[in-house]
Chains A and B, each alone.
Chain A
Amino acid sequence: MTMTFADLLSLAPLLIVTATAVVAMLLVGILRNYAATAMVSIAGLFIATIAAAMMIEGTNQQITPLLIIDQYSLFFTVVVCAAAMFIAIFSYSYFLNLDDDREEFYLLLVVATIGAIVMVSSNHFVSTILGLETLSMALYGMVAYPLHSKESAKYPLEASVKYLVLSAVASGLILFGMALIYAQTGTMAFTSVTNPVAPSTEGLSDNYTIIALLLISAGMAFKLSLAPFHIWTPDVYEGAPLPATAFLATIGKTGMFVVLLRYVEISNALEFSSVVTVFSFIAILSILAGNLLALLQDNLKRILAYSSVAHMGYLLIAIIASYFAVGTISIEAVTFYLLAYVIMSLGAFGVASVASSSENELDSINDYKGLFWRNPWIAAVFTGMLLSLAGIPLTVGFIGKFYIFLAGVESSLFALLIVLVLGSGIGLYYYLRIVYRMLLPVDDAVSASNTSTHIFGSYAVLAILFLLLIVLGVYPAPIMTIIETISAFI
Chain B
Amino acid sequence: MILVILIAVLFVGGLLAWASERINPEYPRIISLLIVLLDIVLMFSLLGGDSSATWLVDLQADWLPRFGISFHLAADGLTVLLLLLTGFLGVIAIGSAWGEITERTGFFYFNLLWTLAGVLGVFTALDLFLFFFFWEVMLIPMYFIIAIWGHENKNYAAMKFFIFTQVTGMLMLVSILMLAYSHYGQFGVFSFDYFDLLKVNTSGPLEMVIMLGFFIAFTTKLPSFPFHSWLPDAHSQAPTAGSVILAGVLLKTGAYGLIRFAVPLFPEASMQFAPIAMTLGAISILYCAKVAFAQTDIKRLIAYTSVSHMGFVLLGIYAWNEEALQGAVMTMLAHGLSAAALFMLAGGLQHRIHTRDMSDMSGFWAKVPKMSAVALFFSVAALGMPGLGNFIGEFLVLLGAFKANITITVISSFGLIFASVYSLWVIQKVFHGEYRNIDFDDSHLYDLNRRELIYFGLMMVGLIWMGMYPQSFLDLSQGALEGILASSQIVATAAVTK
| Residues in A lying within 8 Å of B, measured CB to CB | 373, 387, 392-394, 398, 402, 405-406, 409-410, 417, 421-422, 424-425, 428-429, 432-433, 435-436, 439, 475-477, 480-481, 484
Contacts and interface: CB of A to CB of B under 8 A. Distances in A.
For the complex of A and B, list the 9 residue pairs with the smallest distance between their C-beta atoms, beginning with the closest.
Answer: A425-B167, A409-B177, A393-B136, A480-B66, A421-B170, A393-B133, A477-B64, A439-B148, A428-B163
A402 B133 CA distance: 11
Given A428-B162, A480-B66, A484-B66, A421 B174 contact: yes
16 contacts: A392-B136, A393-B132, A393-B137, A402-B129, A405-B173, A405-B174, A409-B178, A410-B181, A421-B170, A424-B166, A428-B159, A432-B159, A436-B147, A439-B144, A439-B147, A477-B62
Nearest to B159: A432
A393 B67 CA distance: 17
B440 to A, nearest CB: 25
Contacts of A409: 174, 177-178, 181
B256 to A, nearest CB: 19
B66 A481 contact: yes
Contacts of A406: 67, 177
Contacts of A477: 62-66
B484 to A, nearest CB: 27
Contacts of B144: 439
B461 interface: no
A412 B17 CA distance: 46
A424 B136 contact: no
A452 B364 CA distance: 56
Nearest to A420: B170
A112 B67 CA distance: 37
B479 to A, nearest CB: 32
B136 to A, nearest CB: 4
Nearest to B66: A480
A477 B163 CA distance: 29
Interface string B128-150: 01001100110110011001100
Contacts of B166: 392, 424-425, 428
A424 B177 contact: no
Given A429-B159, A433-B159, A436-B159, 14 more contacts: A387-B140, A392-B166, A393-B132, A393-B137, A394-B137, A406-B67, A410-B181, A424-B170, A425-B170, A436-B147, A439-B144, A477-B64, A477-B66, A480-B64
B350 interface: no
Interface string B156-196: 00110011001100110110011001000000000000000
A434 to B, nearest CB: 12
A263 B166 CA distance: 35
Contacts of B140: 387, 392, 394
Contacts of A422: 167
Nearest to B181: A409
Interface residues of B, number: 32
A417 B167 contact: no
B204 to A, nearest CB: 15
B155 interface: yes
Interface of B: 62-67, 104, 129, 132-133, 136-137, 139-140, 143-144, 147-148, 155, 158-159, 162-163, 166-167, 170-171, 173-174, 177-178, 181
Contacts of B155: 436
Contact of B64 (A373, A387, A410, A476): A476
Interface of B is mostly: helix
Contacts of A405: 170, 173-174, 177
A393 B62 CA distance: 18
A416 to B, nearest CB: 11
Interface of A is mostly: helix
A477 B62 CA distance: 9
**Interface hub of A393, A425, A429, A476 (most chain B Cβ within 10 A):** A393
B257 to A, nearest CB: 16
A431 to B, nearest CB: 10
Given A409-B181, A421-B170, A432 B64 contact: no
A410 to B, nearest CB: 6
A432 B144 CA distance: 10
Contacts of B67: 406
A417 B176 CA distance: 13
A336 to B, nearest CB: 11
A373 B66 CA distance: 41
A409 B133 CA distance: 19
B167 A424 contact: yes
Contacts of B147: 435-436, 439
Contacts of B181: 409-410
A387 to B, nearest CB: 7
B154 to A, nearest CB: 9
A412 to B, nearest CB: 9
A433 B159 CA distance: 8
A168 to B, nearest CB: 40
Nearest to A473: B133
Nearest to B154: A436
A474 to B, nearest CB: 9
Nearest to A399: B64
A425 B64 contact: no
A296 B96 CA distance: 39
Nearest to A403: B67
Nearest to B69: A477
Nearest to A422: B167
Contacts of B170: 405, 421, 424-425
B133 A421 contact: no
**Interface hub of A424, A435, A439, A484 (most chain B Cβ within 10 A):** A439
A484 B66 CA distance: 9
Contacts of B129: 402
Contacts of A428: 159, 162-163, 166-167
Given A392-B140, A439-B147, A477-B65, A429 B163 contact: yes
